[in-house]
Structure 1
Amino acid sequence: MWKPQPVPWVSADEVPDDAYLLDVREDDEWTAGHAPGAHHLPMMEIPARLAEVPTDAEVVVVCRMGGRSSQVVTYLAKQGWDNVRNLDGGMEAWQSAGRPMVSEDGQPARVV
């Protein structure tokens, strides 16, 4: 019987400063608020844009709460990425932990 493997994760407080933060949320979510230095690649575009995700760096995948990013972590692992983790609690946890955020719309950064 097949059993799903647990998805590796990291808490917002433990994300290394040099991690490649891959934000897989939709454009409006990204515009409202994201981590400085994060890389935006909406979840549905991942298969067509795999070459943009580094294989030689620690990749931390983030969405709003952790569901979509968990699916992306599983997908990347199946494609051969071995250093990829899910941001536990997503951008909501990032914001709650007091980690820096920026917006693209001139408004205060927020999670939507």
Structure 2
Amino acid sequence: MPLHTLPLRLGEFNADEKIVFYCRTGSRSAQACMFLKQNSGIDAINLRGGIVDWYHAGYEVVVPSHH
């Protein structure tokens, strides 16, 4: 989800679920985690280093197919 849409979608998050935000390098997802905590009290997980570090660490990246 683009960071700028997060304020409009706060109601979609549930504190009982694990929420992981990620972006390319981890900075926008860190902002998303802070925003969610400050505005809803819900803790989320930031994929530190983003998808770039995830890929370079050897983990699989699956790109969804478009309809």
Given candidates 61, 65, 83, the residue that maps to 2:21 is 61
Q: How far apart, CA to CA, are the structure 2 residues paired with 1:85 and 1:103? A: 21
Highest RCO, 1 vs 2 (Cα 8 Å, sep ≥ 6): 1
Instruction: Report sequence identity in percent.
Output: 35
Q: How far apart, CA to CA, are the structure 1 residues paired with 2:25 and 2:9? A: 23
Q: How far apart, CA to CA, are the structure 2 residues paired with 1:91 and 1:67? A: 11
Higher-Rg structure is: 1
Q: How far apart, CA to CA, are the structure 2 residues paired with 1:42 and 1:55? A: 20
Report the TM-score, using the length of structure 2 for normalisation.
0.79
Moved over 3 A (4+): none
**Structure holding more strand per residue:** 1
User: Counterpart in 1 of 2:59?
Assistant: 99
* RMSD across aligned positions (CA): 1.8
Report the TM-score, using the length of structure 1 for normalisation.
0.51
Unaligned regions of 5+ residues in structure 2, if any?
Answer: none
Q: How far apart, CA to CA, are the structure 2 residues paired with 1:61 and 1:104? A: 17
